[in-house]
Amino acid sequence: MQAVLPMLLALALLGGGAARADDSKRLRIITWSDYVPAEVIADFKKETGIQAEVTLSNNEEIISKLRATGGAGFDLAQPSQDRIVGAQQEFRIYKPFDLSQVRLDQFMPDLLATVRKNATLDGKLYGLPYVWGAEGLVVNSKRAKLADYGDLCRPEYKGKTSIRLRRPVLMAFAFASGKDPFALYGDIKAYSALMESVGRTLIACKPNFRFFFDNKDQALNGVRSGELVAAMMWDSGGWALNRENPDIRFINPKSGAIAWLDTFALPARGKNDAGAYAWINFTMRPAIAAKIAKSIGNFTASKGADELADPRLKAQFKESFPDGFRNVRWYPAIPAGLEEIEGKILDRIKAAD
């Protein structure tokens, strides 16, 4: 028995060493559709020897999966910037960045500053910017004239417009009413009152909505076919339709596009931090970031990548956002309890006759 124990110990140590070696050659990423193109995975493996393994998800599922495992199972996650601090405070599913491992000079300074503001907790940074985009108005300019979100409710467009019944539409209609919902995040009573008001507006507007769309394809097909004259939708969808039909345009509304910013975040119990840092630095190189932007149809946070973007996409961006980020409403971190308030309002809108 005494002779067997050292042998078993040696085998266990060898097995543990093999597992650690395997972990260093695998990078498990939980992210959104199109965010990790196959071409970029191949380029990364060729340069580093690390194989990126992708699990497609969304904000809610990222939090749910990491919460269930205590932050294990993935080495890199890509939540939106407003979904990091609250989840970290409640579930401790992320670890802070060691910024000495990050090529910060590769990031656009304004986007980096935005994430620093919204993903810093107790002086530690838990997110880095990756891809950004916005929701605004997609309009068939031959059939409708819209300047702001409230114009979707004009009587002449009855049964001809659409929205996605999620929290962005509540934010959009709040801004269109002249109120700043983000400024009320710290005042639950005032925030609830504003959401109630927005809910009443959207219930009154229901006859105008041909349908509530659940995904991008449904919205695109509605505008493409002419069933819809306008919709609140993502910029990338509007630009895609514009390439098919120049009469269809993405418009930054008068009260401001609602902008999202997806990030890099490190799960608390990831096994390959070195691989995650290597991936971040690799994908923020302008040439690589340009490939990612082409895959997604949105711009990345890489400084200089926009100069390598498709000329048509660059022109569309300048047409939609002539003042750059000036008239854009970035989501701040969401305090606990707000989404429950919003969920009740959205349910009420959906159920209303």
Distance of CA 240 to the CA centre of its chain: 18
Judged against a pLDDT cut of 50, whether residue 2 lies above it is answered with no
Q: Find the DSSP H helices in the chain.
A: 4-24, 38-48, 59-69, 85-91, 109-118, 167-176, 188-205, 216-225, 235-244, 273-283, 286-296, 311-320, 338-351
Q: From CA 265, how far away is CA 254, in angstroms rounded?
A: 33
Q: Which domains does the chain have, with CATH numbers?
A: 23-131+260-311 (3.40.190.10), 133-258+330-351 (3.40.190.10)
What is the model's pLDDT at position 22? 81
What is the model's pLDDT at position 1? 46
CA dihedral of 346, 347, 348, 353, whole degrees rounded to 10: 110
For residue range 239-287, list pLDDT tens digits in order. 999 999 999 999 999 999 999 999 999 999 999 999 999 999 999 999 9
Judged against a pLDDT cut of 80, whether residue 20 lies above it is answered with no
- Per the CB < 8 A criterion, the answer to whether 44 and 52 are in contact is yes
Q: From CA 15, how far away is CA 9, in angstroms rounded?
A: 10
For residue range 160-178, list pLDDT tens digits in order. 999 999 999 999 999 999 9
Q: From CA 165, how far away is CA 169, in angstroms rounded?
A: 7
What DSSP state is assigned to residue 178?
T
Judged against a pLDDT cut of 60, whether residue 10 lies above it is answered with no
Mean pLDDT for all residues in the chain: 94
Structure tokens at 306: 């926009």
> Stretch 42-69: mean pLDDT, rounded?
97
- Phi, psi for residue 146 in degrees, rounded to 5: -125, 145
Distances (CA, A) of 243 to 224, 279, 316, 320, 328: 11, 32, 9, 14, 23
What is the model's pLDDT at position 325? 85
- Of 67-76, 130-139, 185-194, 321-330, which gets the smallest average pLDDT? 321-330
